[in-house]
Chains A and B, each alone.
Chain A
Amino acid sequence: MSAPIIRVEGLGKQFILHHKQRERYTALRDVLAERARSLFRSGGEKPGSTEFWALKDLSFDIHPGDRVGIIGRNGAGKSTLLKILSRIVDPTTGRVTIDGRLSSLLEVGTGFHPELSGRENIYLNGAILGMSRKEIASKFDEIVAFAEVERFLDTPVKRYSSGMYVRLAFAVAAHLEPEILVVDEVLAVGDSEFQRKCLGKMKEVAMGGRTILFVSHNMAAIQNLCSTAIYLKHGQLVSQGATGEVISTYLQDTGAAARVDLASRTDRQGNGAIRFTGFYLSDDRGQELAAAQSGSSVVFNFDIAANATSLRNLEVAMGIDDQYGQRITHLSNEVSGQAFPTADGTTRIRIRIPHCPLRNGNYTFTIFSKVNGEIADYLLNAGGFHVESGDFFGTGKTPAEDQGTFFVDHSFAIA
């Protein structure tokens, strides 16, 4: 394996939080007063402040050509990490070694000036992002075409619509050509059409063999763009590895409350030959999941308790509703053609969806079972589960949000 292009060793970043301070800056008066007061105090502890480690003892290597997704919940230290790598803030401990030209894109349109025209802002923003005048000039037409602002090049950007503004800003950034590109959540701007275009451009850049660090909450984008991923939690590294595995670790970890207890439910119907007692999601290996993901396989697990001595002709059906209570689909062993003439000793029913077609969102389900032709247990709105966005088509692209509630595998041909 080649030498790492970025090596992070024992990195830590500490912030001191001042509780009593209301203003966002220090006034000299307060500092002087504080100094005077502390003369009369014996303890060394500064009052009203606590230490907070945004990053703690973080170590990892990134190799040339890696496309690394950085995931984690808000406040996990992702942005702080990027800021340290970009040399904007200093770490408190540790060391980072970077072998190559690194450009970072932490915000779209940094340094744009409202009074300047589109043309002028392209040059200005390019310079701020570290491009030379020559580089910008050679990419100028490409940038303008990408942003679709040809007609407004000489209009001050303060007269631009917010969409045009964002397009122009992203276009400049997208034409950076460093060895290492660091991108914060910047795709969450613009309309979905433009977001897709941005993602496509990012992918093009990524495939060019450059090293990329990419922070996003959009798992589909991460999965599609990145070869490996890093999962941060409370400023520490939880896992690093292949994107799929890291994402599933993350999904398992976030909100483990995906288990639904059904044993205590009283609003049920049926003769009670079996009772559903619990529900959870898992992957193919039986590993429990916090959420399903579009395009990945998911297993709905129902724990059951049998009260009858023998279970003959077990039938189970599950109805799935979207967040508006609209029935989306119905799963049953009758339609799947799997009969269970005898099911004695069964403790769990597993329903597997190989290629989850549901969009990200919250869903509720109703569960129903028959034993020997009679309704055994029936729970209306038994519980819910969550689906995270994912790369259903394996292309990194998904239809716009308003284009339906689920995905259908399909192919095109021309004749």
Chain B
Amino acid sequence: MVRQRVVIEPGSGSQHYWRDLWQYKGLLLFLAWRDVAVRYKQTSIGVLWAVVRPTLTIGAMWFIGWLFGSTVPEGTPRILMVCAATLPWQFFATSFSETAGSLIANSNLLTKVYFPRLILPFSTVLVSAIDFVVAFLIMVVLMVVYAYVPGPEVLLLPVFILLTLVSSLGVGLLIASLNVKYRDFRYVVPFVVQFGLYITPVAFTSQDVFANPSVPDVVKYLYACNPMVAVIDGFRYCLFGASQTIHWTGFAISCGISVLMLIVGIVHFRRTERGFADII
């Protein structure tokens, strides 16, 4: 066994934080496995919940989009467009809210055992990712039903899955660490999730906003500040390819905000992490 020296000083944190994080990957997987194993205990339809909820949401969103006549490119069924947005949105929503609550939910661990605290939010994101994979089956089924074959752009999909992770983790980490001290933030989370659905192109498309002459520029830029805009535009691009028009400025702003949020989230988390056990 390699002798390792640990120096504990006020505010020093760990000298090898990221290396520690890597060493604790086993714990990360165990915690994720625990949450998955526990999630559907004593439920009768079990993991089907991961399919039922998005299916119902897709139905509702499809109805709203149809009702208000949002633009759908030629040759692409509306239901597929809605599905390609609902899945990443739900992925974002669950991973964001689970991450935000991850520290409070595991306060017994925080006060009794040492591990790099980032393990907790990371493991919850992993759990949401598993739900996402299960829910993605809906997309596959719909594509089969509509005999729709995506183009080569589909290979870019992992990039946008990663972008979903980045955007949910950034905000999630920030809220999680603030939540330890200020429990106000637990009221912020459901609000963000509910409010976000209205300003995110799930029922409608970015085309409805960017190509609409009656929408002022300032609103278009505000709209683009939503990190999920880039994610969903990206998903739709990957699955429906050339038929999608991407508004590049908006896309860049949205991506930039995601990355910025992640940096802010990690920095704030790392800065407050050492005090978690004292104040939780």
Q: Identify the A interface with B (CB < 8 A).
A: 15, 25-29, 31, 83-102, 104, 106-107, 110-111, 113, 115-116, 120, 123-124, 127-130, 132-133, 156, 179
Contacts and interface: CB of A to CB of B under 8 A. Distances in A.
A101 B1 contact: yes
Nearest to B179: A25
A88 B6 contact: no
A104 B6 contact: no
Given A26-B181, A96-B7, A179-B1, A111 B109 contact: yes
B277 interface: yes
A99 B5 contact: yes
A107 B112 contact: yes
Max chain B C-beta neighbours (<10 A), residue from A84, A90, A96, A179: A90
A117 to B, nearest CB: 9
B184 A110 contact: no
State the 10 A-B residue pairs at the shortest beta-carbon distance, nearest first.
Answer: A127-B30, A87-B114, A96-B8, A28-B184, A28-B182, A90-B274, A110-B112, A98-B6, A115-B41, A89-B277
A111 B108 contact: yes
A83 B275 CA distance: 12
A53 to B, nearest CB: 14
A29 B184 contact: yes
24 contacts: A25-B181, A25-B182, A25-B183, A25-B279, A26-B182, A28-B182, A31-B182, A89-B274, A90-B10, A90-B274, A95-B9, A96-B6, A97-B7, A98-B8, A99-B6, A101-B4, A106-B112, A111-B109, A113-B34, A120-B34, A123-B30, A124-B34, A127-B31, A129-B113
B113 A98 contact: no
Given A28-B182, A110-B113, A87 B8 contact: yes
Contacts of A107: 112
Contacts of B30: 123-124, 127-128
A123 B30 CA distance: 8
B182 A88 contact: no
B213 interface: no
Nearest to A98: B6
Contacts of B26: 127, 132-133
A4 to B, nearest CB: 12
A116 B37 contact: yes
A111 B188 CA distance: 27
Contacts, number: 114
B245 interface: no
Contacts of A101: 1, 4
Nearest to B28: A127
B278 interface: yes
Prevailing SS type, chain B contact patch: mixed
Given A104-B114, A106-B113, 4 more contacts: A29-B184, A92-B10, A97-B7, A127-B30
A97 B37 contact: no
Contact of A102 (B6, B10, B12, B112): B6
Nearest to A27: B184
Interface string B20-47: 0000001100110110011001100000
A299 to B, nearest CB: 44
A283 to B, nearest CB: 38
A81 B102 CA distance: 27
Given A113-B34, A127-B27, A128-B27, A88 B7 contact: no
Nearest to B8: A96
B110 to A, nearest CB: 8
Nearest to A134: B26
A130 to B, nearest CB: 8
A15 to B, nearest CB: 8
A120 B110 CA distance: 21
Contacts of A133: 26
A128 B120 CA distance: 12
Contacts of B111: 88
Contacts of A91: 8-10
B109 A110 contact: yes
B75 interface: no
A155 to B, nearest CB: 13
A116 B34 contact: yes
B8 A115 contact: no
Contacts of A98: 5-8
B19 interface: no
A102 B11 CA distance: 20
A159 to B, nearest CB: 12
Max chain A C-beta neighbours (<10 A), residue from B1, B4, B30, B110: B30
Interface in B182-234: 182-184
A132 B14 CA distance: 21
Contacts of B16: none
Contacts of B11: 90
Given A90-B10, A90-B274, A129-B113, A113 B3 contact: no
